[in-house]
Chain A
Amino acid sequence: MAKSDLLQGTLDLLILRTLEQRPLHGVGISDRIEQVTRHVFVVGPGSLFPALHRLAEKGWIEGAWGELENGRRVKVYSLTQPGRAQLVQEKRNWQRVFTAMNQVLTEDA
């Protein structure tokens, strides 16, 4: 799988999961996703920021201004309480879909 366009729901799940471990700024989130998925998913700012703002409007994550070591001001996102609940829900959904898809794909002819 090459650098792919991510399905919106998938991207939301990836972001929520990434922020579950610790708060991160935008570059940190896309770095982390790229790293964990071993360069399968490369999230450019054109997809990342709309997703972040959409999640923030839903109240699942919230952004706050913070500073990097070099003094640059960046917006750092963290998971909220409703966001955590949502993540649990989405994980469960994903597992169901994943299992179902696997069954279809591995079924012996």
Chain B
Amino acid sequence: MWWAFLRRWLHRRQVEQDLGAEIQAHFEILIERHVAKGLSYEDARLAVQLEFGNPEQVKQTVREARVGAALDAGLQDVRHAWRVLRKSPGFTIVAVFTLALGIGANTAVFSIVNVVLLQPLPYREPDRIVQLESPADESGLMIRYISIPKVTAFREQAQIFEHVALYYPGGGRMNLTGGDRPEQVAGMRVSSEYFPLFAAPLAFGRTFTENEDRPGGPQVAVISNGLWHHRYGADPGIVGKSIDIGAAPYTVIGVLGPGFHWDSPIDIWVPLRANPNSLSHSHDYYAAARLKPGVSLEQATAAMKVVSEDFRRKFPPEVSFFGHGFLTPERMHDVLVKDVRPALRLLLGTVGFVLLIACANVANLLLARASGRRREIAIRSAVGAGRHQIIRQLLTESTLLSLAGGVVGLFLGYFGLRALLLINPGNIPLIGEHGAGVTMDRHVLAFTLMISALTGIFFGLIPAMQASRTDLSVTLKESDTRFSVGGRQNRARRTLVVAEIALAVVLLVGSALMLRTYMALRAVQPGFDAHNVLTMGMSTDEPRFYKTDAVAQLVRSGTEGIGRLPGVEAAATTSSLPLEPIYEMIFTIEGRPLSKLPYHGMGAWRSVSTNYFDVFRIPLVRGRRFTEHDDGAGTSVVVINETMAERFWPNGNPVGQRITLGKGLGPPYEESAPRTIIGVVGDVRDDGLNSMPESIMYVPVTQLNDGTTAVDSQYLPLMWAIRTKTAPYSLSADIQRELRRASGGLPVGQIRSMDQVTAGSIARNDFNATLFAVFAGLAVLLAAVGIYGLVAYSVQQRTHEIGIRMVLGAQKRDVLRIVAGSAMKLVLIGLCAGIGGALALTRFLSSLLFGVRPTDPGTFMLVAIGLLGVGALACYIPAWRATKVGPMVALRQE
């Protein structure tokens, strides 16, 4: 059966000719018989047709009777549509390009949504992997940092969780020493359950045993496939060999397969060796686990609510940092994408609007064209095409257009997005380095195909229905060029333009608000001077730096050496840079009674070297800064910021007061002696430019206890910050040489200017603002084209009328008013509708905004004025051109 269809399709021209000849011959014979009876040929032909219909109709019934007739007709529609579109390349190009913009925008956003929100994490049964979280303060906000007692509470629910793993979240750096090429790589400390939890594939060897994860266990390491290749030349005998990590020998016990992904790539894993029985309530780790087979997340959550009550009874919440809420398992995927989900949803909505505008535009083009094709359509229906056949034909045309738009849009959107991600990956999780994980996979292809097909039907249906409703007798009688356009059709076109404008206004307001945010973030006074500061990270994860004196010696030697370099103004070290993640510490104020909590407050906490405030130009408000004498031998001191001073000493002078850090936390954080507050410095927006400054305590790196120094050395790279007199990078080589000298050859990495660090902290805002601006720009452009098209078309239709008016004495001004006036009315209606829509919708943006309210009147005004300007241009240019037409030309245009 299908064979018949295929053969016919392959020889379709021959088959059609054959059919035509056969039926023609049949009719000729019948006609001849009438002629033989004495009729004229013409009368005979009419008589035959009267009796049997015309040959075209017969051919059509044959076509419909054949195998696969429906498919046949479809293919024929496609060929016809192709011919029609090729005959008007101008229209086709405009329509395809308009659709490509709309579809491309959707493809771009979907390809991010696909990899971030839709694709499962690259682990076995990723839905079972949960992050273990708890609320650490009364705000009830869930945090990922967790204490050992809390983890134990999860681990005890052995019927619910398996492979409960601890790990240190990242940012850790380790030095590969030994050999002639020391190298700083990304290292991670993980518990033995980490590998089975994530079902990490092994290329060689094995992962940690529980024994190796105990305090005092043997020094072993697992390395990544990438490191095995690039540093060890893919040596197949690497397992069992000893490598030097931080000048200490570690035995390589395993190499992971290339298929293991962590969100920020890791090169080396060593055992975490946390004491599982620790009762310290310090929140130092992340923990994750796997739900046992058959256990749902809801069941696990419910069980942990009960466990949370037990935990509260066992450990007083104020000591164990257990705030309002419960110990909660949350799907790891949800945790990773929590921050970007709202923005991605908004972007999807935005591009949906852009596509709607593109659809309205093309629908309008089709409506305009349909009136030009009314004769063609009337003729087709006169020779027997039914209404549904005409609709089908027109829909085929629009779908062909949208599929072509889809193909162009796919490439436009995908490569446009890749280019954007190369410039600014926007700190989006799961997209890989520079967005390498964003691929044009089958999901993206299917999505684009689907929206293309739907788009074609969506924008094609109204024009097709309208066109097929043509009144035959009227249309055929009309002259070719001049006919009154049906009121219904004009109404449809006007409605579409109003809708376009309204949608564009909503997007424009959204984008203007994002732009205001962008500017507001740049106008923020961060509290420090980022300009001309070079920063570097140095891992001090070596046993010799687990003692404060050794680190103090390194810092002194390094800062002095760098300070002597020409072009350097000041050099300092810090445990973390401004705007980058920072840890918190509790403190108690000497001589002040405690109320409910066992401490007076909590604040961020940073260990710095003497010149930190000079390097970042953080102003001193009262008291003094650190000096060289604030070292291990001197009195313990601390510098606080203004926010902390105002919050805890609202009516007094904190300078001279004494506070104790970490009291009640136990070693190593609990400090034995109180620190004297020697100074108050200006606030720095350490939590990000869009957050208000919080309390912070600066302590000299030379005055940490050995235990804290050891923890810092293991987990935090020592950050060097150097204020330069010239472009910061010009001194990079000299500074690195000094650091190698001072540290005895430690490698440095993460070399960035502080301006780069600042830009990185708002990269996601910038990314969102850029996308919104691009999409709103597209929307306005498309809407302007839509208005222009409407006016130009009405001018073309009314050229004759305009000519008469001008002959009768109408001035150019009158013509402008007549032609552009009615279109401007549409612009106004659309603008009002759009403002209304924006007022209703911008509140969804509020989480992405900073420094501007979602209903900011100024922004709305600005958008209104801007859109009126664009609208006026789009109305008046074609209207103005109408006035240029001489009256005689206009009148002659019959």
Contact = CB atoms under 8 A, between A and B. Distances in A.
A46 B57 CA distance: 8
A27 to B, nearest CB: 5
Nearest to A47: B61
A3 to B, nearest CB: 11
A44 B52 contact: yes
Contact of B23 (A45, A51, A54): A45
B26 A45 contact: yes
A72 B23 contact: no
Contacts of B52: 44-46
Given A44-B52, A49-B22, A50-B65, 10 more contacts: A26-B25, A26-B26, A45-B23, A45-B58, A46-B58, A50-B64, A57-B1, A72-B29, A74-B25, A74-B29
A73 interface: yes
Interface in A68-85: 72-75
B4 interface: yes
Given A27-B30, A57-B66, A73 B25 contact: yes
Given A46-B57, A50-B61, A74-B25, A57 B51 contact: no
Contacts of B27: 45
B28 interface: yes
B58 A49 contact: yes
Contacts of A25: 25-26
B53 interface: yes
A57 B52 CA distance: 24
The SS class assigned to the A binding surface is: helix
B67 interface: yes
Contacts of A54: 65-66
B62 interface: yes
Nearest to B67: A57
Interface residues of B, number: 25
Interface string B59-76: 001101111000000000
Nearest to B61: A50
A72 B28 contact: yes
A57 B27 CA distance: 23
A39 interface: no
A63 B28 CA distance: 19
B66 A53 contact: yes
The SS class assigned to the B binding surface is: helix
Contacts of B4: 57
Given A27-B30, A75-B25, A49 B62 contact: yes
Contacts of A63: 22
Interface of B: 1, 4, 18-19, 21-23, 25-30, 51-53, 55, 57-58, 61-62, 64-67
Contacts of B25: 25-26, 72-75
A49 B62 CA distance: 6
A26 B57 CA distance: 17
B4 to A, nearest CB: 5
27 contacts: A26-B25, A27-B29, A27-B30, A44-B53, A45-B23, A45-B26, A45-B53, A45-B58, A46-B61, A49-B23, A49-B58, A49-B61, A49-B62, A50-B62, A51-B65, A53-B62, A53-B66, A54-B66, A57-B4, A63-B22, A72-B28, A73-B25, A74-B26, A74-B29, A75-B18, A75-B22, A75-B25
A80 to B, nearest CB: 14
A73 B61 contact: no
A49 B26 CA distance: 10
Contacts of A57: 1, 4, 66-67
Contacts of A46: 52-53, 57-58, 61
A51 B62 CA distance: 8
Contacts of A26: 22, 25-26
B724 to A, nearest CB: 86
Contacts of A72: 25, 28-29
Interface string A31-50: 00000000000001110011
Which 10 interchain pairs have the tightest Cβ spacing? A50-B65, A44-B52, A75-B22, A26-B26, A27-B29, A49-B62, A57-B4, A45-B58, A74-B25, A50-B61
A56 B66 CA distance: 10
Contacts of A74: 22, 25-26, 29
A103 B647 CA distance: 110
Nearest to A73: B25
Nearest to B55: A45
A92 B53 CA distance: 35
A72 B27 CA distance: 12
Contacts of B30: 27
A25 B26 CA distance: 9
Counting chain B CB atoms within 10 Å of each CB, the highest count among A25, A53, A75 belongs to A53
A70 to B, nearest CB: 9
Counting chain A CB atoms within 10 Å of each CB, the highest count among B27, B53, B65, B66 belongs to B65
A27 B62 contact: no
Contacts of A51: 65
A57 to B, nearest CB: 5
A49 B55 CA distance: 11
A35 B738 CA distance: 115
B37 to A, nearest CB: 16
Contacts of A53: 19, 62, 65-66
Contacts of A50: 61-62, 64-65
A65 B59 CA distance: 18
A3 B61 CA distance: 20
